[in-house]
Amino acid sequence: MAIIYLVRHGRTDFIGKKLCGNLPGIHLNEEGRVQAQKAAGCLSNFPIKAIYSSPIERAMETAKIIGSKSGLEIDPVDFLREIHFGDLQGMGGKDLTDHPLWIKFNSEPCDIHFPNGESVSEVYNRVSKGLELISQQYDKEDQIACVAHSDVLRLAVCWVLELPLDHFHRLTIDPASISKIEITPERKKLRLLNLQPD
């Protein structure tokens, strides 16, 4: 089992403007690269044995900055990719905020299934199973990093704390923030939430 650092990718030009989801071609901006460098500096203080990442570009770019500091290769894994928002991907502004499905997602996400995309419960299941399987590859004191996206990491924290999925919007996961979970055969623990490295 393992200690896992959950790292959100750094800032992009589209955060708060467009629902990027699994869209290709979304990269870190200059602020995001600086944020990733700070996260890398923070994590370099710990004996990280492996780095896993969502295969989506903005996450991989963040993971590679972390890996360059630690000398580790990045292992892209599908279970860390962002929610597939289906027909809503790429939407922004009032088109998104006034959309009935988006309104319900922000109040009662548990029952949401995005047309031509995924359901929130499907993402919860793939994230929780993925973290469980990866943790089983390591000893109890081993430390690894997983780089992903805000909603994915909030669902991971819900899994650790056994929070209802309808509560996952209560959690804050800022760009390039670090959270820390511990998975053992006895229990799962949240040790740190949403640290923003200086």
The 10s digit of each residue's pLDDT in 33-43 is 999 999 999 99
Question: What angle do helix axes 120-135 and 150-161 make, rounded to 10 degrees?
Answer: 70
Question: What angle do helix axes 30-43 and 57-70 make, rounded to 10 degrees?
Answer: 40
**For residue 23, is it left (φ>0), alpha (ψ between -120 and 50) or beta?**
beta
The 10s digit of each residue's pLDDT in 85-134 is 999 999 999 999 999 999 999 999 999 999 999 999 999 999 999 999 99
Note down the domain range covering 66: 2-195
pLDDT for the residue numbered 131: 97
pLDDT for the residue numbered 178: 98
Q: What are phi and psi of 47, to 5 degrees?
A: -80, 70
DSSP 149-175: -HHHHHHHHHHHHT--GGGGGGS---T
More confident residue, 170 or 186: 170
Name the band, by pLDDT with cuts 50, 70 and 90, for residue 1: confident
Q: What are phi and psi of 2, to 5 degrees?
A: -155, 165
pLDDT, averaged across the chain? 96
State which H helix or E strand residue 147 sits in: strand 143-148
Write out the two tokens for 10. Answer: 């750094």
Residue with tokens 């004191």: 141
Residue with tokens 């922000």: 106
**Nearby residues of 46 by Cβ (< 8 Å), 6 or more positions away:** 5, 143
Residue 89: give its domain's CATH number: 3.40.50.1240
pLDDT for the residue numbered 157: 98
Residue with tokens 């995309």: 117
Q: How many domains does the chain have?
A: 1
pLDDT for the residue numbered 162: 96
pTM: 0.96
**Torsional sign, CA 24, 29, 35, 40:** positive
